[in-house]
Chain A
Amino acid sequence: MTNVLAIAERELRAYFASPIAWMMIGLFALLAGVFYVTTLAYFVQASMQMDSFAAMGQAPQPLNINQQLIRPLFLNVSVVALFMLPMLTMRTYAEEKRSGTIELLLTSPLTDWQIIMGKYLGALTLYAVMLLVTVVHVGVLFFYGEPEWRTVVSGYLGMLLMGGAFLSLGLFISSTTKNQIVAAAMTFAALLLLWTVSWFADSASPTTAAVLRHLSIIEHFDDFAKGVIDTGHLVYYLSFIAFGLFLTAKSVDTERWRG
């Protein structure tokens, strides 16, 4: 465990020593902020409309801050994560292979799993920090309104799990190449495919459609944003992460044999 932490700490140090971490946190906060403002403006407009309905004696439709503001916000922010997280994992292995520091890690008394878990934990921690910044936005809502906090927590749990899945796949792809750009592009393409796979479901047979929907990395997220923690979705993300890490271990081992 101390070895895992040593690696994770070094990863974080590398992120924060370079502009990567600051840029990622900044851009994530900026984009999440933009989506926050636009969603909020829409919500405010809708609530003013309801006010005017009430003034005219018509029955207003009830507005739900969780369903109509926080949920779409989470869905938007998850798209930002889709675009940004490949850039977080691209350097993990690729950079070490290019610069030769991988020789230090692989000839130190460490197991492959310690290295993989350390790297994964480092990336996940940075992602958690990125998410933490957006808590400010949601916090403001608590100040002026009365959102359901449980829904917010489940939404963040969903974000963390989905992002965790992105990172595990990114880690695997980074371990297959020396080139960071290749790693980022391939990760993004793979994630986008997994994201959009459910779009084909509409034109597929019922069984295929069900399979495609189940594979889709975003289909499992919506319930979290709604405030539902479904064991099925939890299992999907956790097994996705485990599989990504497993593939990384296999890839590291294969590379070793191939030299």
Chain B
Amino acid sequence: MIEVQHLTKRYGRVTAVDDITFRVERGEILGFLGPNGAGKTTTMRVITGYMPATEGRAVVAGFDVFSQPIEAKRHIGYLPETPPLYPEMTVREYLTFVARIKGVAAADRKSRVLQTMERTRVADMADRHCGKLSKGYKQRVGLAQAILHNPDVLVLDEPTAGLDPKQIIETRELIKELAGDHTIILCTHILPEVAQTCQRVVIINKGRVVAIDTPDNLTTRLHGSNGIYVQLEADPGHATAVLQRVPGVARVSESDRRDGTVGYEVESQEGQDVRRELVREIVANDLGLLELRPIRMSLEDVFLNLTREEQEPAPAPRPEAPDSTEEAYD
């Protein structure tokens, strides 16, 4: 449904997006993740035909957005970062105007506007001026504007920004509901949102794709060996020695310590489950087991990991932060 091929966008000498390639299948929700300034919005703007790419191309619903912009745009609904509302128009007037320029037939406009207002839960504000709406309503009117002409492709740039928790859940439900007959690109930096709604995730950093996978795969893929968190009530030195002796354990590191209890992160060797042996040893040595659980990398960790790796090339070891500050003070 959406095909982005070798997309590059330069502003003068600055490269905002550098050779991005990905595709989104019909009915899929793709999460588009990246830190601020990674090129998310630029990519969305190229896909929606707001600006042309310097190199490469984007094809939406079979139409090249650059060479067949009108046809492509008919199939796209776009919610930009700031909802594009005209403050002096009421919600109803605004949506009727949008319906008109998006090519909704005159006979259908009224019912379509009503239906969309119901769907995005803004009907109670239908006759309020857009400029006087709360942030949450503005966001939802923006969403209404994007889905109004029932486009095949929806590009949503942070659709839940500024909503309260209840509205966020409602909006996510709506997005999932829309996914059936729409293809969606969801641009966000809220990671749980991606984990909950998206089937696939593209992570970009500094204009480059650093990972494309399902959220589940991403959280396990980067996780070289299995980590286990153990909290004990025992003498730290002794406990560390005991844990390290357990067969299959690769590394033990202390993670936290507070009045009498010590937390450890135990990393086992690739593909080995050491939990049973671990518990046996702990009990045998009477180390006072309080907690034991596998550490699953959250999407946050994955994200930080990937985007950090990009920033600092792995082979170059960096001095520890405290050292460098000390040096600076000398």
Contacts and interface: CB of A to CB of B under 8 A. Distances in A.
Interface in B68-99: 69-71, 73-74, 76, 78, 80-82, 84-89, 93, 97-98
B25 to A, nearest CB: 22
Contacts of A102: 84
Interface range for B: 20 to 34
Given A2-B100, A10-B97, A110-B101, A101 B51 contact: no
A108 B77 CA distance: 8
A109 B102 CA distance: 6
B93 A13 contact: yes
Interface stretch (A76-84, A136-144, A251-259): A251-259
A99 B86 CA distance: 8
Contacts of B49: 106-107
A102 B82 CA distance: 11
A103 B97 contact: no
B101 A108 contact: yes
Given A13-B88, A257-B51, A104 B98 contact: yes
Contacts of A111: 70
B49, B84, B85, B145 — most chain A CB neighbours (10 Å): B84
B48 A14 contact: no
Interface in A107-156: 107-111
A15 B114 CA distance: 26
Interface string A1-31: 0110011011001100110000000000000
A250 B11 CA distance: 18
A169 B134 CA distance: 37
Interface of A: 2-3, 6-7, 9-10, 13-14, 17-18, 99-111, 256-259
Contacts of B70: 109-111
Interface of B: 9, 11, 16, 42, 45, 48-52, 69-71, 73-74, 76, 78, 80-82, 84-89, 93, 97-98, 100-103, 145
28 contacts: A6-B97, A6-B100, A9-B97, A10-B89, A13-B88, A14-B88, A17-B89, A99-B87, A100-B80, A100-B82, A101-B85, A103-B84, A104-B84, A105-B101, A107-B48, A108-B101, A108-B102, A109-B69, A109-B70, A109-B101, A109-B102, A111-B70, A256-B51, A257-B51, A257-B52, A259-B11, A259-B16, A259-B42
A100 to B, nearest CB: 4
A257 B82 CA distance: 21
Contact of A109 (B73, B81, B82): B73
- Which A-B residue pairs are the 3 nearest by beta carbons? A17-B88, A104-B84, A109-B73
A34 B316 CA distance: 78
Nearest to A101: B84
